[in-house]
Amino acid sequence: MPTYTSLQKEDPAVFAALMGEIKRQKEGVELIASENYIFPAVMEAMATVFNNKYSEGYPGKRYYGGQEFTDQVETLAIERAKKLFNAGHANVQPHAGAPANVALYFALLEPGDTVMGMDLSHGGHLTHGHPVTYITKIFKFVRYKMKDVETGEIDYDEMLAVARKEKPKILLGGFSAFPRELDYAKMKAIAQEVGAITVMDMAHIAGLIAGKQLQNPFDHGFDVITTTTHKTLRGPRGGMILTRDPELGKKIDKSVFPGFQGGPIMQMVAAKAVAFGEALKPEFKEYAAQIIRNSKHLASFFMEHGVKLVTNGTDNHMMLIDCVKSWNLGGGEVEHLLDAIGITLNKNMIANDTRKPMDPSGVRLGTPAITTRGMKEKEMEILGQFMLSAIEKRNDEKALVTLGGKVKEFCLQFPVPGIE
């Protein structure tokens, strides 16, 4: 772990906050499905002098001089990303997942054009057209949903019917709260019929695709993939856009810079290169496989103990618990209760939720971070039991304090990479 000597001397307040966060991450169980612990080498690359360099443009085509080494790292990031996801073109400059999606919309659409994405209450992301986002003032968003909430099957017949009527320019896959796989081949066929470009926002499952545990949308003819790099991929906070089509690649590059962003955050580009290098190693496949084994095992454990999961299981790293059906509790109450014993997850709307977003019926949880700490199936049962005990003893403050102590003791047996 870095010593942070200058930080401690120059800014004790920020140093103190950092020490608090390090302690929190070591002592608590992180079950937020979009979070992870980055590779130590990624963390080192982030804290480098690449921060000092302005590199507007792309490797070999920059606006300023002195780009010998920035060109090297960005080219490494691009080439590794292409290899990892079997893409022909990669733009590694988006500052995060949301900017990647916005840059993509502007690359492919004219104002007033339509995007068809997953209904937000069924798992889609804010950037897929939530009314609170500015992009909805410019583009029109229409929806597809699950046909069967018990299995998670998407209603592809309705998707086709809506696509025929609305003629979307983009048919968008991707989600932040959906535990099943999409049928990319069916989506591609629907898109072809209506002349739409197929885009997958794989932000949540990028590491599982990189680790060859879930299907790669490109193998089913998808045109574009957008992603974050900091979830299952264990990279720095950042975004990326991939395509196999050189013409789309040119439009995407122009849209990211100069259309939307300024200079790339070059230390993050360097860190993306490192993360992609890590994900190309054979052991990353095993890591991705263990994330899913853990997720399935925890899901089965819950279901065996009478917990109601949305779609009754999972195919990926996450699951959604219907807290109302399981315990007659709101998702917020469960989040709060587990927080008190050192287990972090988030309240979440579930499909067809009758409650409000700030007080929804569900919680979402995932296994990427705990898998990074080396936890396996046996530990999933221990964690599941901690959670069930907390819910059972929710009115017994003393029992909850004892439980919190046990969680901490258990957790400290699994060091966090980079902050041991």
In order of 107, 311, 404, the CA distances from 329 in angstroms are: 44, 19, 20
In order of 26, 29, 110, 136, 351, the CA distances from 114 in angstroms are: 45, 41, 9, 10, 23
Assign 202 to helix, strand or coil.
Answer: coil
Q: Name the catalytic one among 4, 35, 54, 75.
A: 54
φ, ψ for residue 36 (rounded to 5)? -165, 175
225 or 375: CB nearest ligand PLP: 225
Whether 113 is a known active-site residue: answer: no
- Position 365: which residue type? L
Burial pattern 38-67, b for ≥16 Cβ within 10 A else e, equals: bbbebbebbeeebeebebbbbbeebeeeeb
Q: How far apart are CA 365 and CA 150, in angstroms?
A: 18
Q: Name the catalytic one among 30, 74, 201, 335.
A: 201
Q: Name the catalytic one among 237, 285, 308, 406.
A: 237
Name the site residues for ligand PLP (rule: CB under 6 A). 34, 96-98, 101, 125, 127, 174-176, 201, 203-204, 228, 239
Instruction: Reply yes or no: is the peptide bond before residue 168 cis, omega within 30 of 0.
Output: no
Whether 79 is a known active-site residue: answer: no
93 or 127: CB nearest ligand PLP: 127
Question: What are the residues whose beta carbons fall under 8 Å from the beta carbon of 21, sequence distance 6 or more?
Answer: none
* Min separation Cβ 191 and ligand PLP, Å: 19
Alpha-carbon Rg of the chain, whole angstroms?
A: 22
* Min separation Cβ 225 and ligand PLP, Å: 11
- Taking residue 209's Cβ as centre, other Cβ atoms within 10 Å add up to 25
Question: What are the residues whose beta carbons fall under 8 Å from the beta carbon of 64, sequence distance 6 or more?
Answer: 54, 55, 56
Q: Name the catalytic one among 198, 228, 229, 371.
A: 228
Pairing of strands 346-348, 343-344: unpaired
* Min separation Cβ 23 and ligand PLP, Å: 25
* Min separation Cβ 265 and ligand PLP, Å: 12
* Min separation Cβ 124 and ligand PLP, Å: 8
Label residue 417 exposed, middle or buried (CB < 10 Å: 0-12, 13-18, 19+).
Answer: middle
34 or 371: CB nearest ligand PLP: 34
Whether 231 is a known active-site residue: answer: yes
- Nearest residue to ligand PLP, scored by beta-carbon proximity: 97
Burial pattern 215-226, b for ≥16 Cβ within 10 A else e, equals: bbbbebebbbbb
233 or 309: CB nearest ligand PLP: 233
Instruction: Write out the two tokens for 262.
Output: 């300024």
* Min separation Cβ 226 and ligand PLP, Å: 7
217 or 239: CB nearest ligand PLP: 239
Whether 287 is a known active-site residue: answer: no
Whether 5 is a known active-site residue: answer: no
């029109």: which residue's tokens?
140
Instruction: Write out the two tokens for 389.
Output: 């005990």
* Min separation Cβ 97 and ligand PLP, Å: 2
* Min separation Cβ 34 and ligand PLP, Å: 5
98 or 233: CB nearest ligand PLP: 98
Q: Name the catalytic one among 145, 180, 231, 296.
A: 231
Q: How far apart are CA 314 and CA 204, in angstroms?
A: 14
Whether 56 is a known active-site residue: answer: yes
94 or 332: CB nearest ligand PLP: 94
Catalytic residue ranges: 54, 56, 201, 228, 231, 237
